[in-house]
Chains A and B, each alone.
Chain A
Amino acid sequence: MSEVLVQPPAEKKPLLGKKERKLLTDPLSDNNPVTIQVLGICSSLAVTTQMKPTMVMAISVTAVVALSNWVISLMRNAIPSRIRIIVQLTVVSVLVILVDQMLKAYMYDVSKQLSVFVGLIITNCIVMGRLEAYAMGNKPYPSLLDGLGNGFGYGVVILTVAFFRELFGSGKVFGFKVIPDAIYEAGYVNNGLMMIPAGALFVVACYIWIQRSFAKHLEEKE
């Protein structure tokens, strides 16, 4: 996937030129980090039983990917290649610790729900994947956009998954009841499958199924 995104050095351009826009929108569909590049699924599924923590997770990941892309891109010519990975890990860890500390201080409830999964952003493959594939070879500004785009792409998928899991699993959206009591009284019950881990996998599989049915070129051979 790196060939697709590596570009010739950019000349002077408006703030959001065509190429920049592509950087932002590509990861939303054709180059989605989760459903196409198969990255960062680890943490994305465990937190998706409700939309609120998922939203916070998506924002945190976007912030970490974008900022780490930017920082690494700024330093890319100075980093000795022998300690490249450890420097990347350090930058990412520092950012994740900052996010974790902020959540603990200002969004205590959500931080309790996300528990270990905030820490796991460090090993979210999207972050390291973008650093290696993009930030190490591109200028800071496009790298920042690339990070933002990939963060959004991740966010779209996990929010969609969380929407269905919360709707069918507990009859709520963002914590508000949307399925009226009358329907429950008529015999409707929440789908317990959505609450267990396996539910998340089925929802993602359906997402991939639908996405690839519409975009045949994304299908895998094997």
Chain B
Amino acid sequence: MSSKGNSGTIVFALLVTTLSAALLAAAATILKPAQDENVLKEKQQNILSLVGLNGANDYKKFEELVQGVVIDEQGSPIKGLEAISLDLASEKKLKTKNPSYKVRYPLYIYKDKEGKVTYLLQMAGVGLWGPVWGYLALDQDGNTVKSAIFDHKGETPGLGAEINTDGFEKQFNNKKVLNDQGQFVSIKVEKGKHDASMPHAVDAISGGTITSNGVSKMLEEDIAFYLKYIQQNSNNKAL
């Protein structure tokens, strides 16, 4: 091919490097807005789908449709923070690294035409292979689950990955997170037959025990957190 000396090789290498770097930097800069928008859009669509807003363009009106609040560990709202840009997974990760870290949670509040409130909760946890996350719609009473969706990054197809199928998600409809005494008991994901008489449990994924346990843990941790805010606020409003 070439019998050029070292200088030729170096010049060539530099040329290739500079050209590729320029090309990549340009592409990354140009495409970044579209990529960020995709991520945001997916999140907004997920949240809206909880209350049945599945229209292709609903996410464009996200800010009008739901009101976001960021809440702290006492359950009081933090001003000046945008809920949608808060990354819950990394908040929780900071907490595991440093137990004194004060986590913040994003909560979305949806009011329908009659003024009935639905709380839209965002949750984050860990499955078998990596992150799992979900969104859950809680009724005005802070007890009844209206709907839930889950997703995952790399759970096993056919096993743990089943958490984002209708079959698993629909089980959550009308489940309760509080017992008859009004104490928080969460919803457990466990093996066995489950029907309407068991308001605090759903059937686990067969072959996806670790993923199911991860979802259970996530529900317990995160719903408890949101309830502090929801209970304080629904008391004021005198249901």
Q: Which residues of B contact A78 (CB under 8 A)?
A: 2, 12
Contacts A101-B28, A108-B42: A195 and B2 contacting too (C-beta < 8 A)?
A: no
Report the nearest A residue to B12, measured CB to CB: A80
> Does B158 lie within 8 Å of A196, measured CB to CB?
yes
Report if A94-B24 is in contact (Cβ < 8 Å); known contacts: A80-B4, A101-B31.
yes
- B167 on interface, CB distance cutoff 8 Å: no
**Cα of A119 to Cα of B53 in the assembled complex, Å:** 35
- Tally B residues with Cβ within 8 Å of A: 24
- Report, as a range, how many residues of chain A touch the other chain: 20 to 34
Q: Which of B9, B34, B39, B42 makes the CB contact (< 8 A) with A106?
A: B34
A196 partner residues in chain B, CB cutoff 8 A: 157-158
Stretch at the interface among A58-66, A81-89, A180-188: A81-89
A80 touches B31 (CB 8 A): no
Question: Cα distance A40–B13 when bound, in Å?
Answer: 28
**Is the Cβ of A90 less than 8 Å from the Cβ of B16?**
yes
CB distance from B153 to the nearest CB of A (A): 8
Q: Cβ of B23 and Cβ of A94 under 8 Å apart?
A: yes
Q: A82 contacts which chain B residues (CB < 8 A)?
A: 9
A133 interface residue per 8 A CB criterion = no
**Dominant SS at the B interface?**
helix
Q: Is the CB of A80 within 8 A of B1?
A: yes
Q: Are B17 and A90 closer than 8 Å at their CB atoms?
A: yes
Contacts of B23 in A (CB 8 A): 94, 98
A80 near B34 with CB under 8 A, answer: no
A-contacting residues, B18-74, CB 8 Å: 20, 23-24, 27-28, 31, 34-35, 38-39, 42
A130 to B155, CA, bound (A): 35
B96 to chain A, nearest CB (A): 24
Give chain A nearest CB distance to B13 CB in angstroms: 6
A138 is an interface residue with CB less than 8 A from chain B: no
Cross-chain contact A104 with B31 (CB below 8 angstroms): yes
Contact B24 A98 (CB under 8 A): yes
- Beta-carbon contact of B31 and A105 below 8 Å: yes
Besides A83-B12, A97-B27, A101-B31, 17 other CB < 8 A contacts?
A76-B1, A77-B2, A78-B2, A80-B8, A82-B9, A83-B13, A84-B1, A91-B16, A101-B27, A102-B31, A104-B35, A108-B39, A115-B153, A136-B1, A195-B157, A195-B158, A196-B158
Q: Which residues of B contact A (CB under 8 A)?
A: 1-2, 4, 8-9, 12-13, 16-17, 20, 23-24, 27-28, 31, 34-35, 38-39, 42, 153-154, 157-158
Q: List 9 A-B contacts (CB under 8 A).
A: A49-B157, A79-B1, A79-B2, A87-B12, A94-B20, A98-B23, A101-B31, A105-B38, A136-B1
